Amino acid sequence: MGIVDLLCQGEDGAYVIVELKSQGLGARDIGQVIGYYAAMKDKSNLHNKPLPRVYCIGPAVSLQYKVALLALGNGTFINLKTKIIKEILQLNEGRNEIPVELLDYSPNEEGLLKILR
């Protein structure tokens, strides 16, 4: 299943799983976060915490990701939110931060979507 990129805790005590991708999000990424969600859901139940939340963040969404996301009720079945990274500035030499904006991805709003082919 791999290692979770970021495992956080929300103010409500819920586990928050963040999967970061430098390339476009694909169907394989959906499979990966389903595994993370299942594991953390069991842990949440054991510790009486709210259901985990999952975020997939990448620069684009592939058609395969979109189809898999639709099969998951647009992410509702695993409490998944998809975010698209919009880089604001280019990385300058000597800087270790990149300002970015995260856009909510919605399969119904193709204007926010750059589909990889």
Task: Give me the pLDDT at residue 49, please.
Answer: 96
Task: Give me the pLDDT at residue 1, please.
Answer: 66
- For residue range 20-54, what is the model confidence (pLDDT) as tens digits? 998 889 999 999 999 999 999 999 999 999 999 99
Distances (CA, A) of 37 to 65, 92, 95, 105: 17, 36, 34, 19
Distance CA 60, CA 62 (A): 7
Domain residue ranges of the chain, discontinuous segments joined by +: 6-116
Task: Give me the pLDDT at residue 113, please.
Answer: 44
Task: Give me the pLDDT at residue 108, please.
Answer: 63
Distance CA 77, CA 12 (A): 20
Looking at domain 6-116, which CATH architecture does it have? 3-Layer(aba) Sandwich (3.40)
The phi and psi torsions of 113 (rounded to 5 degrees) equal -115, 135
